[in-house]
Amino acid sequence: MYLQPSIFTQLMLNANPTIQDDFQRWMFHSGMLFGSPEKWWGDYGQRDFLHEGMDFCLYQEQSDHMRQLDTQTQIPVIFDGIVRAVFKDYLGQAIIIEHDLSVNGNTLKEKLLTAYAHTQPMEGILPGRQLKQGDIIATIAGTDHSKANILPHLHLSMAIPAPDLPFDAFVWNIMRDPKRMILLNPMHILDAKGQARRF
């Protein structure tokens, strides 16, 4: 699958000048996409749960060569917001950020959550920290310690949380609980379209 450039892509390129000049588009195995039942690593078998977000790892250069993000890749926050939780995940740490939603300049009661997972947070990225769009919040965590033989990557989830969702004991499984949050397809929010392609 290809993901055409979006605000997310532009922020990523601004934060990582070494890939900016040659970047053409993101590349995805179908297992990297939201709602996928399959793995894109190891035995390529079935996941225990449908994928809760999108995995950003591979991109195509203007020369058509495929490249991958690494542990030096800096991750910018997509929207203004406030850090609500930071916790250990399967490969690194996940950062949960809450954003206001607005329509025609009017702030809604509903909030948007973004989860940046498998990261190494920057110093000072702690609950309560206010962020502006484009602020660097982390780098991608290494995967050398993992037995899954998986490439370093950014997992991005987006969701509408329940109004009373507590953040003090936030863990990964909360994202799978439809009573606590409604998961959204990040591709739709990033205003990007793609088409399936295996590699």
Percent of the chain scoring above 90 in pLDDT: 66
Task: Return the residue matching tokens 């205003």.
Answer: 191
Distance CA 128, CA 151 (A): 31
Residue 193 has pLDDT above 70, yes or no: no
Q: Are 131 and 98 a contacting pair, CB within 8 Å?
A: no
Range with the lowest mean pLDDT among 92-106, 129-143, 158-172? 92-106
Q: How many CB atoms lie within 10 A of CB 103?
A: 7
CA atoms within 13 A on the CB side of 43: 3
State whether CATH 2.70.70.10 applies to domain 74-189.
yes
Between the CA of residue 194 and those of 23, 29, 86, what are the distances in Å? 16, 12, 31
Q: Are 146 and 124 a contacting pair, CB within 8 Å?
A: no
Distance CA 13, CA 7 (A): 10
- Residue 1: pLDDT band by 50, 70, 90 thresholds? very low
Q: What are the tokens at 116?
A: 């940046």
Reported as a single tens digit per residue, the pLDDT across 152-173 is 999 999 999 999 999 998 999 9
Q: How far is CA 114 from the centre of its chain?
A: 7
The chain-wide mean pLDDT, for the chain, equals: 89
Q: Cα-flanking dihedrals φ and ψ of residue 90, to 5°?
A: -65, -30
Task: Give me the residue spans of the domains in the chain.
Answer: 2-68, 74-189
Q: What is the DSSP-derived secondary structure letter of residue 48?
A: S
Q: Are 140 and 118 a contacting pair, CB within 8 Å?
A: yes
- Angle CA 154–91–22, to nearest 5: 30
Q: What residues have CB less than 8 Å from 88, skipping those under 6 apart?
A: 94
Range with the lowest mean pLDDT among 21-25, 89-93, 127-131? 21-25
